[in-house]
């Protein structure tokens, strides 16, 4: 096990499919120029990061395994074109690396696959990892994250990366990667259950605000933050799972009035073997007290599963704020 930081430059070479057509009167067979994407991984262990960025990654635990597979997700107009988060496209890496520029560092290239034949257009690389022979992630391209201190801050071009393909042009794209340390999985910009295939359970929230006369508000906005529970009651927020997710409000306009309605806010929580605990905070965005935490506490996977009726129907956690005559249903969190 090496305690050094690995970085790599991924060369994404892209060619693409061309086709043409002729009139029905004079059909002509036109050869199709097949396209393909190949990845060249240039691994370098002489990374130079300055200041706080260097301090943030000095403790990464990196392994010396050889890349055997690459997992990718490419999208176009929001639609997956190659791979999905549930099942990324896996490409085999050529086991015979070469040093193409004689700098002492070898490059690993992925093998060709027809799954990456593409037509011209704008694509986005959403996900890129390199795996060893045991199918364990060893390097990863961080994705953009608003979490302070996330590894995307180290990247000049974190994912998602826009890739424009034009007819007749072979395109090469450079992608930075860091070694993957599963102890810091959330700092790469992905949820750890997205990377590790952990089973998830769904948790939904619905809220009401009541005025002095007891009438329910038409809609109430709030945001939700969830962390792994650290185990320390005085500092309960561990690794972040969701930060500042805002609930949605739907406005329906009629001829003489507008109707507003709140939409339940649903999230997926990791459900690993044994007990799981999550620390939750709900902050009110409408009415009084604005921008104030109104619920907080530790939620368990058993609390979430208790909201399912025979695994076919999911009850919401329903909170009531303001001057309500009803309590939360069920009562899960403390009111600060």
- Alpha-carbon Rg for the chain, nearest whole angstrom, is 25
Banded model confidence at residue 150, pLDDT cuts 50, 70, 90 = confident
Paired tokens of 177? 């990667």
- The answer to whether the beta carbons of residues 203 and 299 sit under 8 Å apart is yes
User: What CA–CA distance (Å, rounded) separates 58 from 3?
Assistant: 8
**Predicted confidence band at 2 (pLDDT cuts at 50, 70, 90)?**
very low
Q: Is pTM, for the whole model, over 0.85? A: no
Looking at residue 294, what is its pLDDT? 92
pLDDT band at 10 (very low <50, low <70, confident <90, very high): very low
**pLDDT: which is higher, 245 or 24:** 245
- Say if residue 47's pLDDT is above 60: no
Of 209, 179, 169, 220, nearest to 59 (Cα)? 179
Q: What is the pLDDT of residue 311?
A: 59
DSSP 182: G
Residue-averaged pLDDT of the chain: 75
Cα–Cα distance between 82 and 15 in angstroms, integer? 15
Q: Can you give the residue ranges of every domain in the chain?
A: 7-192, 200-322
Does the pLDDT of residue 30 top 70, yes or no?
Answer: no
Whole-number pLDDT of residue 310? 65
Say which residue, 236 or 315, is predicted with more confidence: 236
Report pLDDT for 65.
80
Distance CA 225, CA 242 (A): 5
pLDDT of the residue at 11: 45
The percent of residues above 70 in pLDDT, for the chain, comes to 69
Q: Which residue has the higher pLDDT, 21 or 227?
A: 227
pLDDT of residue 4: 41
């Amino acid at each position: 096990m090496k305690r050094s930081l690995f970085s790599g430059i991924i060369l994404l070479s892209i060619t693409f499919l061309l086709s043409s057509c002729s009139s029905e009167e004079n059909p002509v067979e036109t050869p199709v120029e097949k396209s393909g994407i190949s990845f060249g991984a240039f691994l370098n262990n002489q990374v130079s990061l300055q200041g706080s960025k260097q301090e943030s990654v000095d403790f990464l635990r990196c392994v010396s395994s050889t890349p055997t597979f690459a997992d990718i997700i490419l999208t176009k107009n929001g639609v997956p074109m190659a791979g999905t988060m549930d099942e990324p496209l896996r490409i085999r890496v050529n086991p015979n690396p070469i040093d193409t520029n004689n700098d002492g560092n070898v490059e690993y290239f992925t093998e060709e696959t027809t799954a990456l034949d593409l037509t011209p257009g704008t694509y986005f690389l959403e996900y890129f990892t390199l795996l060893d022979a045991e199918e364990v992630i060893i390097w990863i391209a961080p994705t953009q994250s608003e979490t302070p201190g996330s590894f995307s801050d180290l990247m000049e071009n974190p994912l998602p990366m826009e890739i424009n393909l034009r007819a007749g042009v072979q395109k090469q794209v450079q992608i930075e990667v860091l070694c993957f340390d599963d102890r810091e999985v959330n700092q790469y910009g992905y949820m750890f259950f997205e990377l590790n295939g952990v089973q998830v359970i769904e948790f939904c929230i619905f809220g009401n605000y009541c005025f002095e006369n007891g009438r329910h508000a038409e809609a109430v906005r709030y945001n939700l933050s969830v962390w792994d529970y650290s185990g320390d009651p005085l500092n309960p927020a561990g690794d972040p799972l969701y930060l500042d997710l805002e609930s949605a409000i739907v406005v329906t306009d009629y001829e003489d009035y507008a109707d507003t309605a709140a939409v339940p806010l649903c999230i997926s929580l990791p459900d690993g073997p044994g007990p799981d605990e999550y620390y939750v905070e709900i902050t009110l965005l409408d009415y009084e007290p604005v921008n104030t935490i109104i619920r907080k506490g530790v939620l368990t996977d058993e609390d979430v599963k208790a909201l399912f009726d025979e695994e076919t129907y999911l009850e919401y956690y329903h909170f009531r704020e303001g001057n309500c005559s009803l309590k939360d249903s069920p009562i899960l969190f403390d009111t600060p």
